[in-house]
Chains A and B, each alone.
Chain A
């Protein structure tokens, strides 16, 4: 054995190189496979990153290229807003109690895309939920509470602090969505208790109360101290903005330190005033308004509404309007962007992360719950939109970011829509969470493009 083959270091290197090349090509193929979202449901974590692969059908959603979604859960009940913390704990506010719980805690503790923890607490239904300084803030329709979190978790049997109590009990637009600024303040929407402040609610031809006393303690956004206990609307609340019929979608934009919200515009123009409006006009009018809000702003409800075709605030028919007259609506603050009528914007989220491509950063995601007020025409909305911002201004060419919620081609009656997006939250890793109010499905949306492959 004189010529025993002794591999030279050079040979070792060659073999090693071959191995590396082989492995990279192999994994590249797998990644390209994933970006087509054709991975099977049995998720494995790609060693190159911490993101689990998307569902083969993206949980039923239709997303832009290279995005994928995982359905985290299918049917937890009537979900409303959601919050996600740095440890990946997902908290869902339930409209009504689900198994006697008003807040559900869900978690994918292994990061494989599947939920393996689920529990609940809180004995009240509602809409608002947000994490602020190690507390989970949750709202009922009449109060705001917070639960202390330890290591990102609300321990069993934690009794909540009351932050604000005694909101007026109202039957319509009762949800209390919340958001926080960086300055120790909390903002809460108090919706109008009516459609248009009519003397006889929702009755054809009925005039509006003038002045509308509903504006005194409702139909606006109020500011409270974020951490002061037992506040009341009358004693501690500051009316930050008024003339907003109902804004379920509110968020603080830390980029320009301003409050933003989307208003649910009034219903039934042609039904209540057929002499001034056709059914076609009534289906599109008024606009759903995207508002940038400064302290003291008045957006005109119930006297005025925004007509996106005439691009101005016009006088409501309950106050003598005919679809064209402006009168007292001259000078009322305009929206920064207008969407077609009745789409029901129910959540707003300014995206802070880097997981999605550059253009999404600091832009706004909007969850449109979908209309009920467009009959006899098909209902619309039921998707998540994205509005990019340039130099602090929303761009008009907004995109339909996530669609497919309804699972039908056309929604004639609201009930036709299988799912309705209602809540949005951003994970600390930049993935986007979307909740549905119809069945309680929750999706996690992840970008699987080039940027992700580079991330290691």
Chain B
């Protein structure tokens, strides 16, 4: 009987200890997850970028998101894509005329509709594209409102 009691006590002690050590293990594992926010690149001309950011937040952010990463399978990212960094006339055309049909952006297919933004004036378009081209890890030169005016004129005569 006494032996039995001893076993019992040892058993209880052992399980208490194993519980404790496991709890400590868990506690150690709970490290907070820290997210890195993309830092905007140095602005070309601060006020242009600030104005562009305002246009972006009003008209583009809803789909392309605050961080420019878009929504997987729905709205493509604006982070170092060939459209954002490439030919400026093509980029202006996308904003003024919108885009639909299947396109591939960074290895992912997109096929939703981007509406035309020809209700924005030349300056708003150049500001927002200058902002986009110098944010979200992008580092490309500014877009001028003259460049926008040329593309708009071409689109309207078509």
Contacts and interface: CB of A to CB of B under 8 A. Distances in A.
Nearest to B61: A375
Contact of B23 (A36, A78, A194, A203): A36
Interface stretch (A16-24, A296-304, A314-322, A333-341): A16-24
A38 B22 contact: yes
A372 B16 CA distance: 47
B54 to A, nearest CB: 11
Contact of B67 (A21, A171, A204, A415): A415
A271 B11 CA distance: 66
Interface string A379-421: 0000000000000000000000000000110001111101000
Contact of B113 (A15, A23, A171): A171
A110 B122 CA distance: 66
A22 B12 CA distance: 8
A445 interface: no
B41 interface: no
Given A25-B8, A26-B11, A373-B62, A203 B115 contact: yes
Most buried by A among B25, B66, B71: B66
Interface in A275-303: none
B115 A408 contact: no
Majority DSSP secondary structure for residues of A touching B: loop
Contacts of A412: 65-67
A375 B57 CA distance: 9
Contacts of A26: 11-12, 14-15
Contacts, number: 124
Given A25-B12, A416-B67, A408 B35 contact: yes
A362 interface: no
Contact of A57 (B11, B29, B69, B74): B29
Given A29-B16, A372-B65, A18 B73 contact: no
Nearest to A194: B113
A202 interface: yes
Interface in B80-128: 100, 102, 111-116, 119
Contact of A30 (B5, B7, B15, B74): B15
Nearest to A60: B33
A413 B66 contact: yes
A15 B5 CA distance: 10
B26 interface: yes
Interface of A: 14-15, 18-19, 21-23, 25-26, 29-30, 32-33, 36-40, 56-57, 78, 95, 171-172, 194, 200-204, 267-268, 271, 372-373, 375-376, 407-408, 412-416, 418, 437-438
The 10 closest A-B pairs by CB, nearest first: A18-B4, A29-B15, A413-B65, A415-B69, A171-B111, A413-B67, A203-B115, A26-B11, A38-B22, A22-B8
10 contacts: A22-B8, A29-B12, A33-B19, A38-B19, A56-B22, A56-B25, A172-B111, A203-B115, A412-B66, A413-B68
